[in-house]
Structure 1
Amino acid sequence: MRHLNTTVHPDIDHLDDKIIYQRNAARAIVIDGEDILLLYTERYHDYTIPGGGLDDGEDVIAGMVRELEEETGAQNIHSIKPYGIYEEFRPWYKEDADVVHMISYCYTCKIDRQLGETSYEDYEIKNGMKAVWMNIHDAIAHNEKTMAESPKKGMSIERETFLLHLVAKEML
């Protein structure tokens, strides 16, 4: 799979002598015309691509399908194709490591436009997460405004906005 980008959080000046925890994630890029299936999170006031962390030993595509179904209620997931890998090095706030190396495996796929029932985790419900079909250019503009103005923006918005720009450029 091609490498899309690597980012290093500004608080990390080097990786020498750091304990690094690797976390793998899978993300689903679902396009219908200029609409893209996204998750709106009220807490962070942002739009993100569906996906999340893989369970230990879980196949990447199986994890992408699981996350897509849980977070959006997607049905009839098919035509899955590799899109690329996005890497991040971020501070890690648990005792077992200093830095998390997040590797996001991104795939494109097709689904039925009509979404079914979601299966959110407690923190996703508390954060006000909901699946929406949205014009990709509107989502990019929204996220850029949030990055510029919001004190409550999450750390993932830079990744998400980079991916949205790339998808808009390459797939529309």
Structure 2
Amino acid sequence: MKLLKSTIHPEIENLETVSKFTRKATRAITLKGENILLLYTDRYHDYSLPGGGLDEGEDLISGMIRELKEETGAKNISNVEAFGLYEEFRPWYKEDFDVVHMLSYCFTCTVDDELGSTKLEHYEVSNGMKPVWINIHEAISHNEKTIAESDKKGMSIERETYLLRLIRSTFL
């Protein structure tokens, strides 16, 4: 899969001197014209692509399909194609490691317009996460405003906004 971007969080001064572990995740890109299926998270006031970490022994496409179904209730997922890899090194806030090497494998796919029931995890519900079909231009503008003005934004918003801009320039 082609590398879309590689980033190192500004708090990380030297990757050679820190303990790190790798986390593999997937992200689903589902477009209907200029509308895109995203997750809105109230806690961080942002839009993000559906997806998440792979389970032990799970392949990339199966993981993407599972996460997309769980987080959005998407039905009839088909036409799955690789889009690219976003790599990042971010601080880790647990005692076992200093840095997480996050690999986000992004795939395009199609789904039915109507979504079914979600199976969100407890923390996703607590964070106010919900699936939405939204105009991609509106989602990008919203995230850009959150980046500029909000102190409650999460570390993933830069990745998500970069990917949304790339999706817009590639497909629209």
Match of 2:146 in 1: 146
Deviating above 6 A after TM superposition, structure 1's stretches of 4 or more consecutive aligned residues are none
Q: Distance in 2 between matches of 1:101 and 1:9?
A: 11
Indicate the residue corresponding to 1:131 in structure 2.
131
TM-score calculated relative to the size of structure 2 = 0.99
Q: Does 2:66 match 1:52? A: no
The equivalent residue for 1:24 is 24
Listed as ranges, the gaps of 5+ residues in structure 2 are none
| Range 10-19 or range 78-87, more displaced | 10-19
Give, in angstroms, the shift of residue 17 of structure 1.
2.3
User: CA–CA distance in 1 between the matches of 2:17 and 2:150?
Assistant: 34
Trace 1:7-156 onto structure 2 (pairs within 5 A). Answer: 7-156=7-156
How far did 1:50 drift? Answer: 0.2
Q: Distance in 1 between matches of 2:112 and 2:62?
A: 18
Per-residue deviation, residues 114-172 of structure 1 (Å, max 9, x unmatched): 00000000000000000000000000000000000000000000000000000000011
**C-alpha root-mean-square deviation of aligned residues, in Å?**
0.5
Q: Which residues of structure 1 form unaligned runs of 5+?
A: none
SS of corresponding position for 2:36: strand
Provide the rounded CA distance (Å) in 1 between the counterparts of 2:17 and 2:43: 35
| 1:80-101 Cα deviation digits (max 9, x unpaired) | 0000000010011122211100
- Structure 1 counterpart SS, 2:17: coil
